[in-house]
């Protein structure tokens, strides 16, 4: 099981639109994510910063499986218009700084 922390950032002024549009994702996309190993995906927002916490069997396999999936392509296009730079799913996770064992 992989655990990733990803960060994205909203464009200024897009907070309310993002919150409203991201209350749920399309059922077809959620099903595809689950079928390809996503156990959980939480997003927290602090101002313009979005922090994604993902638990997935294999993140690289998930990326490959969703790359050409029509529901994911449509969703990413819809969300990317609200972000300060596109969400690059291939950028990997944030570096671990400290972890309580």
As given in the structure block, the two tokens for residue 94 are 């944030």
Q: What angle do CA 76, 17, 91 make, to 5 degrees?
A: 35
CB atoms within 10 A of CB 40: 9
Model pTM above 0.85? no
Q: Which residue has the tokens 């819809």?
A: 78
CA distance from start to end of the chain: 17
The closest alpha carbon to 29, from 87, 71, 88, 81, belongs to: 71
Q: What is the pLDDT of residues 12-61, one digit of tens each?
A: 999 999 999 998 899 999 999 999 999 999 999 999 999 989 999 999 99
């Amino acid at each position: 099981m992989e655990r990733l922390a990803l960060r994205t950032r909203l464009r200024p002024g897009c907070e309310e639109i993002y919150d409203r549009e991201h209350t749920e994702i399309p059922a077809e996309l959620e099903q595809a994510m689950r079928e390809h190993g996503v156990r959980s995906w939480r997003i927290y927002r602090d101002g313009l910063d979005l922090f994604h916490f993902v638990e997935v069997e294999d993140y690289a396999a998930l990326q490959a499986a969703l790359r050409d999936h029509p529901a994911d392509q449509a969703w990413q296009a819809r969300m990317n218009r609200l972000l300060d730079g596109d969400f690059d799913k291939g950028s990997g996770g944030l570096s671990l700084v400290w972890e309580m064992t």
